[in-house]
Amino acid sequence: MDREGQNLSGDLAGLIDAHLDRDSFRTQHWEGSFAEYLEIARQNPAVARNAYQRVYDAIMDQGSEHYKLFKRDAVRYHFFSDPFDNGADGIFGLDFALMQLVDFFRSAAEGYGTDKRILLLHGPVGSSKSTIARLLKKGVEQYSKTDAGALYSFSWLLSEDCDVQPMAGDPHQAQRTHSFDSPMHQEPLLLVPQQARADIEAAINEGYQPRHHNGRLKIAGELDPFSRKIMDDLMRFYDGDWSKCIEHVRVRRLVLSEKDRVGIGTFQPKDEKNQDSTELTGDINYRKIAMYGSDSDPRAFNFDGELNIANRGVCEFIEVLKLDVAFLYDLLGASQEHSIKPKKFAQTHIDEVIIGHTNEPEYKRLQSNEMMEAFRDRTIKIDVPYNIRLDDEIRIYEKDFGPEKLRGMHCAPHTLEVAAMWAVLTRLDDPKKAGLTRLQKLKLYNGKAIPGFTEDSVKELKEEAPREGMQGISPRYVQDKVSNALVSRQAIDEKMINPFMVINALESGLTHHSLINDEETKKQYIEMLAVVKEEYEDIIKGEVQRAISADEDAIKRLCTNYIENVRAYTQKEKVVNRYTGKSEEPDERLMRSIEEKIDIPESRKDDFRQEIMNYIGALSLDGKKFEYSTNARLHKALELKLFEDSRDTIKLKNLVSSVVDDETQEKIDVVKQRLIKQFGYNERSATDVLNYVASIFARGDSKSE
């Protein structure tokens, strides 16, 4: 290798080395005696927490923020924004469902009984149930690597044959040549004899000060069959001297890992003919039967079922209600009694969080099955609906189709917004309040103000539709159709996608949508696309209007003129014409042309003008100067008036023809640059929007004519 190649490889090796932390590695792979572990437990009793307490603390350690939503207290837990993987599995807009979930863990951590239940996430397809389960597994895995989340297990030091054999030359000492891990990663304190546990519990609880809950520490359960046999054999060898037996124990730090099947398990239904319950509770190791002489010897058994290996952590059951009944029977004891029954062995204690998820049809089948009453009684169901807030839905799509993902492909403004708007519309119930449309309801849910509706109104709307979000279009469908639009020939040629491409993709996909068999539903969804398209037209008309009327000096001049006339009108004075120098009556035509833009009727004009003067007076008393931009209604009226005055000058409707004079083109280029600078368009998308809005105005002008 030449010198340049050596330097390059050295640089790359340096990059790797910069991310390695040897101190953390040593900490996470600590080993010591049982006595040393007792000292660790005395100084940091949290190492003896159960699985529910550890998961709850993992969530709370990431922090939270409180806010108001639908006039209710809401909490946003940062844990579910996926700080472990730069937001890759971040969840948006499901704060109420996640609050229920965290409350479940809080109750379990306190020991109030929910620790004896199966957590069942229930909702429509694509509503983030699997993502929540994945985050819980990922989060507790990362937490176990921290000092706050440290936990420990142990290994046995025995002879090569995993047996209690006397040392050569010292028949009173058993061999300690080979190490054998606790197969279920059990808590070392389970090695403490039953008669001493109460005192040990009291001692460690005395120093235990949990940060997030008031649950107590408990040494619950017994050793697994393998460790119980080893301990019995050692006790016989040492004639009941427990302190001698414990010298064969090596305590080690335990880091949970789904990939290594340590403390985190995942079970997925498969073909019934090729799957049995031993996948949950372990199976006989036939190769070792010849070595140990019996299939009931725990050393000839693999304690590697999903419920075994998930001990101390989390076990996820994918589509749990698709499982055969025999599997569900195993879950009954696993939840209520915290024990499982491996083949040919006694009930074995487990300490783990059991999470299942399912969809609506499967859950309805469970409800109608009388044979599954015991299972229903042992589950706590948490509904995980679709998003019903537009901004949160947009964030889902921005995660997949943000600028860093598109790499050179321009996404025109509002492209993801219209897709999200349509998706949310399909999930909302029709409002029961007269005169309120579904689109207005969407805006209210998203925090927009609509005249005549208060926060109480929004709360009522939410309460009258408790199952809102449990049906409709899933984010997956939208993501698929946006992907289709991105790889279409038009998008590749133009190196951009716009809302119309996405709307067309969404509509064409409905014809073959596998989950919508009802023609009436398809018809409703297509009608909602028309509503979204109309709303998009209003949005871009507003943007073009603001771009045309974005001349700050012109708005200030118009505002000054209006305020002078309003002041003279309210004080019954005349206005001095700056050009002729003569005193004239206030310009009623000018004032009304502005006020009509924000729907101030003739009968209300005096009140509105007085409001403006009172507002200016109040600012003056506070030592502040009036600016048109501080009054939203007046600002909007001035923009619309200026747009109307500028529109004829620019002759925007001429854009639809092929003939545009140089003066008009120059003004249009200015507007286009404002669209690019202020609203995020590029040259092509700004031109398309201007052309489209011009065609709308041309249609409007021809209709008015």
Question: HSE on the CB side for 305, CA within 13 Å?
Answer: 24
Domain spans in the chain, listed from the N-terminal domain onward = 390-530, 548-704
**What are the backbone dihedrals phi and psi of residue 111, each rounded to the nearest 5 degrees, phi first?**
85, 30
603-650 pLDDT, tens digit per residue, is 888 888 888 888 888 888 878 887 776 677 777 788 777 777 765 555
Q: How confident is the model over 17-43, as a mean pLDDT?
A: 88
Closest alpha carbon to 248 in 131, 164, 368 = 164
What is the pLDDT at residue 1?
Answer: 53
* Beta-sheet strands, E only, within 443-526: 496-497
More confident residue, 583 or 32: 32
Which tokens is 652 given?
Answer: 């925007």
Q: How confident is the model over 414-438, as a mean pLDDT?
A: 92
- Cα–Cα distance between 328 and 334 in angstroms, integer? 10
- Cα–Cα distance between 391 and 262 in angstroms, integer? 38
Residue 380 contacts residue 114 (beta carbons within 8 Å): yes
What is the pLDDT at residue 98?
Answer: 96
Q: Worst-scoring range by mean pLDDT, 345-354, 431-440, 619-628?
A: 619-628
Question: HSE on the CB side for 650, CA within 13 Å?
Answer: 26
More confident residue, 633 or 671: 671
Mutual angle of helices 632-650 and 588-595, in 10-degree steps: 100
pLDDT at 702 exceeding the cut of 50: no
More confident residue, 668 or 215: 215
Q: Between vectors from CA 251 to CA 248 and to CA 257, what angle results, nearest 5°? A: 130
Encoded amino acid at 655, one letter: L
Residue 379 contacts residue 117 (beta carbons within 8 Å): yes
Q: Which residues of 86-124 are buried (b: 16+ CB within 10 A; e: fewer)?
A: eeebbbbbbbbbbbebbebbbbbbbbeebbebbbbbbbb
pLDDT at 704 exceeding the cut of 50: no
- Cα–Cα distance between 94 and 459 in angstroms, integer? 17
Residue 629 contacts residue 550 (beta carbons within 8 Å): no
Q: pLDDT tier at 163 (50, 70, 90 boundaries)?
A: very high
Encoded amino acid at 351, one letter: D
What is the pLDDT at residue 306?
Answer: 94
Residue 471 contacts residue 384 (beta carbons within 8 Å): no
Q: Which helix (H) or strand (E) holds 77?
A: strand 72-77
| DSSP conformation class of 515 | T
Percent of the chain with pLDDT over 90: 55
Contacts of 472 (CB under 8 A, 6+ apart): 124, 386, 423, 424, 426, 427, 428
For residue 489, count CB atoms less than 10 angstroms from its CB and return exposed for 0-12, middle for 13-18, buried for 19 or more: exposed
Residue 80 contacts residue 91 (beta carbons within 8 Å): yes
pLDDT at 236 exceeding the cut of 90: yes
Q: How confident is the model over 371-400, as a mean pLDDT?
A: 91
266-316 pLDDT, tens digit per residue, is 998 876 666 777 889 999 999 999 889 888 999 999 999 999 999 999 999
Say how far residue 358 (Cα) sits from the centre of its chain: 18
pLDDT at 559 exceeding the cut of 90: no
Residue 15 contacts residue 7 (beta carbons within 8 Å): no
Q: pLDDT tier at 699 (50, 70, 90 boundaries)?
A: low
Q: pLDDT tier at 662 (50, 70, 90 boundaries)?
A: confident
Residue 577 CB coordination number (10 Å): 11
**What are the backbone dihedrals phi and psi of residue 125, each rounded to the nearest 5 degrees, phi first?**
-60, 140
Residue 551 CB coordination number (10 Å): 14
- Cα–Cα distance between 688 and 683 in angstroms, integer? 9
Which tokens is 295 given?
Answer: 């299939």
Integer-rounded Cα Rg, in Å, for the chain is: 35
Q: pLDDT tier at 197 (50, 70, 90 boundaries)?
A: very high
Closest alpha carbon to 404 in 88, 161, 615, 60 = 88
**How many helices and strands (H and E) does the chain possess?**
30, 21
Q: State whether residue 265 is helix, strand or coil.
A: strand
Strands 118-122 and 353-358, by their bridges, are parallel
For residue 317, count CB atoms less than 10 angstroms from its CB and return exposed for 0-12, middle for 13-18, buried for 19 or more: buried
Q: How confident is the model over 493-501, as a mean pLDDT?
A: 93
Q: State whether residue 348 is helix, strand or coil.
A: strand
Contacts of 385 (CB under 8 A, 6+ apart): 94, 97, 123, 124, 127, 427, 467, 468, 469, 470
Q: pLDDT tier at 656 (50, 70, 90 boundaries)?
A: very low
For residue 500, count CB atoms less than 10 angstroms from its CB and return exposed for 0-12, middle for 13-18, buried for 19 or more: middle
Percent of the chain with pLDDT over 70: 93
Q: Which of 103-117, 553-567, 660-674, 686-700 has the highest mean pLDDT?
A: 103-117
What is the pLDDT at residue 703?
Answer: 37
pLDDT at 107 exceeding the cut of 70: yes
For residue 249, count CB atoms less than 10 angstroms from its CB and return exposed for 0-12, middle for 13-18, buried for 19 or more: buried
- Cα–Cα distance between 242 and 451 in angstroms, integer? 78
- Cα–Cα distance between 388 and 466 in angstroms, integer? 12
Q: pLDDT tier at 258 (50, 70, 90 boundaries)?
A: very high
- Cα–Cα distance between 339 and 116 in angstroms, integer? 11
Q: State whether residue 153 is helix, strand or coil.
A: strand
| DSSP conformation class of 217 | P
Encoded amino acid at 174, one letter: A
Which tokens is 17 given?
Answer: 């080395």
Which tokens is 336 given?
Answer: 């209520």
Mutual angle of helices 662-679 and 632-650, in 10-degree steps: 150
What is the pLDDT at residue 6?
Answer: 60
More confident residue, 404 or 136: 136
Q: What's the mean per-residue pLDDT of the chain?
A: 88
Q: Give the total residue count for the chain.
A: 705
**Across the chain, which distance is largest between two alpha carbons, in Å?**
125
Which tokens is 160 given?
Answer: 């090569």
What is the pLDDT at residue 230?
Answer: 96
Residue 134 contacts residue 89 (beta carbons within 8 Å): yes
- Cα–Cα distance between 276 and 297 in angstroms, integer? 21
Q: Which helix (H) or strand (E) holds 103?
A: helix 95-110
Tell me the H-state helices in 207-317: 225-237, 242-245, 278-281, 286-292, 306-309
More confident residue, 45 or 674: 45
DSSP string, 16-44: HHHT--HHHHHHHT-EE-HHHHHHHHHH-
Q: pLDDT tier at 511 (50, 70, 90 boundaries)?
A: confident
Quickly tell me which residue has 């799509």 as its tokens: 397
